Structure 1
Amino acid sequence: MAIVKPFKAVRAKRDKAALVSSKSYEVYTPEMLNSKLAFNPYTFLHVINPGYKYHKQDITGELRFKLVHNRYLEFKEDEIFFQDELPGFYIYQKITATNSFCGIISATSVEDYHNDVIKKHEGTLKERELLFENYLKNTGFNAEPVLLTYPDNDDISSIIKKYTKERAEYEFSSTDKTSHLLWVVNDKTDVAKIEQGFKEVDTLYIADGHHRSTSSCLLADRLAKENPNHTGKEAYNFFMSYLLPESQLSIYEFNRFIKDLNGLTPHEFLIELDTIFRIENRKQELYKPKEKHHFSMYLNGEFYALYLRKSLYNFTDSLSKLDAQILYTTVLKPILGIEDIRNDSKIVYSQDKSDSLELKTKVDSGEFKVSFGMLPTTISELKEIVDAGLLMPPKTTYIEPKLRSALTIYEF
């Protein structure tokens, strides 16, 4: 039984929503960021880049977090932001050239995270967990929801369909030609129906936002210990999430790029691979896998198809069947000497969504010696691994939708 709660979002007024909301801070190059800050006084980027006001953008640590809080207060004082009077859910739809995503923004339970009702599929770095916990503690808000997915539910879908037939509270397009729509659900009957619908959901799966969810839980535990009157109902016992039916989730693969062959020549490397893979040289033909346990490789100016010799590989559990794990256990670790695939500087990852020639171009540039591609992980694989209590290797899934910041803001 999943616990979801309505909340009183802080958000922009209707006429400024398009100007205020932004992509996640990390996706902007310095040039893009400066352009946004210079020409849009309403962008939320001013809040999370507070040093711009003082022409000093290298402010870090707790001082930066406190200034973020100050800029946030200014947006509220200038009435760019307001807080809804009634608690509600927020239906958000994102429409791109190829996909449409429609789910519910809500407050989700820290207790559910601790009780494994909310499950993760990737490990997190302690340093990043603590950094974001400190950010939340100092700023007092979260502006970007965690992406959770759940099995499709007819009762929840019926509420979403009801509202999406009406005029949206927000309706705007961003410069990447994506449409964004937001509906406010604060009718008590519909709020109760949504809460009840999720009580029928056994498990919520974290699709994106592992560090944000973990940090929110760390903060909740910390604040609970500091509060002698803790009841479990305080705002810090929940974190903001975007709940999306799993049928709408889009999963793409990450390519792997390796900077050296661990002392081997290309010929010697191919001989090592021949032990566990059947290898076909595709020359200049672009090869992309069409089946699980098949891999593409670009080496020394040529494409190769690698087919796992299943008779020589031991499938022990759901994780061992995952292509990203197979590549690690058969190639990256034993042959190329990459033990720590999260932190080793010899390996670089890039999501394979648009540039199908990336495997070739990055190696031909001389920056890398070899590259590997594979099929995307399926939602069924993800759930099977998670339900078994296992974690996937880093950079196994590139999941969409990517969510905007400051469409709704959750205060602690």
Structure 2
Amino acid sequence: MAHVKPFKAIRPTRDKASFVASRSYQEYSKDELKSQLKYNPFSFLHIINPGYKFHESIAGKERFKLVYNRYLEFLEDNIFQKDEEASFYLYQISKGKFKTLGLFCACSVLDYQNDVIKKHEDTIQHREELFADYLNTVGFNAEPVLMTYAENESVSKLLKKETEQEPQYNFTTTDKISHKLWKIADKQAIDKLQSEFSKIDALYIADGHHRSASSNLLAEKMKSEHKSHTGKEAYNYFMTYLIPESEIRIYEFNRMVKDLNGYTKNEFLIKLDTYFRIEKKDDGLYKPTQKHHFSMYLDGEFYSLYLRKKVYQFTDALSELDTQILYKTILEPVLGIHDLRNDKRISYGYGKHNVIGMKDAIDNGKFAVGFSLVPININEIKAIADAGLVMPPKSTYIEPKLRSGLAIYEF
């Protein structure tokens, strides 16, 4: 049973929403970031990059305090406003044929603890603690955890009905993505949505494992510090964006390794022959087309690698995952990559043109070999999460990527 809760969002005024909304900080190039901070005084980037005001780069807990100060200034200058009634917020993102309609809401840390909210990625403790400290200092969450759920016709009908109303926000950003947001404040509509979600057995984290883990860590800390704790306090929830699983887009990460771990090219190919049927490809860029099929770029040439299924043993959902197969058959035993998250010899790429980028990086001598995979699908993610297993890092690149600043959750 999934618990979803409306909340009183802090939001930009309607006339400034398009200026406030920002992509993730990491997605901006240095020039883009500089331009946004210089020419757009309403950008949410001013809040998360508070040192710009002082022409300094500020990190650590001092930065957290300044983030809070910039946030207060946005409230004081009426760039942000606080809704008077607890609401759900329906948010639609569309570009070309890709469209997603989801719900901003608050989800329960108890659901996270009780495995109603399911995870498929591991988290790093010091990152959990750092972000929990950040949340504790600033007192708000502006980046929702992206979660998905099984197709539900009743929920879809309720949400579609809400889109017949005039949206609070309706704008298009310079990357040609359309954004619409509706506020759902009607108690009857809220009750219906809560009732329907209570019939859903599980929610799956698609993006935001560290954010959800940090919110849980903070809730436990706050609980220990508040003798009058009831479980209903705002810190017992965290902001999420819920969409049906059919509206998730999953892309692959390729893998690039800087050297062949001391092997010559022929020695390396012979090692790979244990687990794969290897075929050289002469028709330009080559990508894999199915599960357990990989492409490799080595010394100016593409190869197809077909897994020898009689040699490799499938034991559980994780063992069937292509990223795990690549790790267990090549990256760890042959190339000596044991720590996929921290080993500096391995790097990752994603996106529609990642094969071109991989080829160019290897041709330029930055890496020795690269591997491409087919994208993991939502059923594989769910199987891993349901089994309580953890994917290798950089197994999925998931869209939609949400704008920051359109809805903020205070606790």
Q: Assess same fold via TM > 0.5.
A: yes
Q: Which moved more, 1:348-357 or 1:119-128?
A: 348-357
User: How far apart in 2 are the matches of 1:26 and 1:271?
Assistant: 40
1:392 paired residue number: 391
User: How far apart in 1 are the matches of 2:371 and 2:167?
Assistant: 44
1:44 paired residue number: 44
User: How far apart in 2 are the matches of 1:278 and 1:99?
Assistant: 37
- SS of corresponding position for 1:162: helix
User: How far apart in 2 are the matches of 1:325 and 1:52?
Assistant: 42
Aligned amino acid, residue 12 of structure 2: A
User: How far apart in 2 are the matches of 1:171 and 1:213?
Assistant: 29
Q: How do 1:39-188 and structure 2 match up within 5 A?
A: 39-56=39-56, 58-188=57-187
Q: Which runs of 5+ in 2 are unaligned?
A: none
Q: 1:208 to 1:224 in 2, by over 3 A?
A: same
1:16 paired residue number: 16
Aligned amino acid, residue 2 of structure 2: A
Q: Is the 8 A contact 2:149 2:243 kept in 1?
A: yes
Q: Is the 8 A contact 1:144 1:405 kept in 2?
A: yes
Could you say what the CA RMSD is over the residues aligned between the two structures, in angstroms? 0.9
2:253 paired residue number: 254
Q: Is the 8 A contact 1:300 1:370 kept in 2?
A: yes
Aligned amino acid, residue 333 of structure 1: E
Q: Is the 8 A contact 1:284 1:302 kept in 2?
A: no
Query: Offset at 1:358?
Result: 2.4
Q: Is the 8 A contact 2:355 2:372 kept in 1?
A: no
- SS of corresponding position for 2:227: coil
User: How far apart in 1 are the matches of 2:408 and 2:158?
Assistant: 22
Aligned amino acid, residue 15 of structure 2: D
Q: Is the 8 A contact 1:47 1:68 kept in 2?
A: yes
User: How far apart in 2 are the matches of 1:297 and 1:45?
Assistant: 39
Task: Check if 1:297 corresponds to 2:296.
Answer: yes
Aligned pairs, number: 411
User: How far apart in 2 are the matches of 1:279 and 1:21?
Assistant: 48
Q: Is the 8 A contact 2:349 2:358 kept in 1?
A: no
Query: Offset at 1:284?
Result: 4.8
Query: Offset at 1:391?
Result: 0.6
Aligned amino acid, residue 3 of structure 1: H
Query: Offset at 1:101?
Result: 0.7
Q: Is the 8 A contact 1:253 1:397 kept in 2?
A: yes
Of all paired residues, the percent bearing the same amino acid is 58
User: How far apart in 2 are the matches of 1:361 and 1:34?
Assistant: 28
Q: 1:44 to 1:403 in 2, by over 3 A?
A: same
Query: Offset at 1:336?
Result: 0.1
2:350 paired residue number: 351
Aligned amino acid, residue 300 of structure 2: G
- SS of corresponding position for 2:349: strand
Query: Offset at 1:63?
Result: 0.8
Aligned amino acid, residue 176 of structure 1: D
- SS of corresponding position for 1:391: coil
Q: How do 1:258-297 and structure 2 match up within 5 A?
A: 258-297=257-296
Aligned amino acid, residue 159 of structure 2: I
Q: Which moved more, 1:297-306 or 1:121-130?
A: 121-130
* Post-superposition CA distance 1:82-126 (Å, at most 9, x none): 100010000000001241011100000000000000011100111
Query: Offset at 1:355?
Result: 4.0
Query: Offset at 1:32?
Result: 1.4
- SS of corresponding position for 1:192: helix
User: How far apart in 1 are the matches of 2:398 and 2:60?
Assistant: 29
User: How far apart in 2 are the matches of 1:280 and 1:269?
Assistant: 14
User: How far apart in 2 are the matches of 1:354 and 1:8?
Assistant: 41
* Post-superposition CA distance 1:26-50 (Å, at most 9, x none): 2122221111010001111111111
User: How far apart in 2 are the matches of 1:167 and 1:185?
Assistant: 11
User: How far apart in 1 are the matches of 2:69 and 2:2?
Assistant: 35
User: How far apart in 2 are the matches of 1:54 and 1:338?
Assistant: 42
User: How far apart in 2 are the matches of 1:392 and 1:103?
Assistant: 25
Q: Which runs of 5+ in 1 are unaligned?
A: none
User: How far apart in 2 are the matches of 1:51 and 1:385?
Assistant: 41
2:200 paired residue number: 201
* Post-superposition CA distance 1:49-75 (Å, at most 9, x none): 11111121x211111100110110010
Query: Offset at 1:285?
Result: 2.7
Query: Offset at 1:245?
Result: 0.2
Aligned amino acid, residue 20 of structure 1: V
Q: Is the 8 A contact 1:255 1:352 kept in 2?
A: no
Q: Is the 8 A contact 2:119 2:388 kept in 1?
A: no
User: How far apart in 1 are the matches of 2:165 and 2:361?
Assistant: 47
User: How far apart in 1 are the matches of 2:51 and 2:389?
Assistant: 41
* Post-superposition CA distance 1:366-392 (Å, at most 9, x none): 100000001100111111111011011
Q: Structure 2 length normalisation: TM-score?
A: 0.99
Query: Offset at 1:353?
Result: 2.4
1:7 paired residue number: 7
1:216 paired residue number: 215
User: How far apart in 1 are the matches of 2:275 and 2:60?
Assistant: 48
Aligned amino acid, residue 49 of structure 1: N
* Post-superposition CA distance 1:156-202 (Å, at most 9, x none): 11111111122211000111110000000000000001101110110
- SS of corresponding position for 1:321: coil
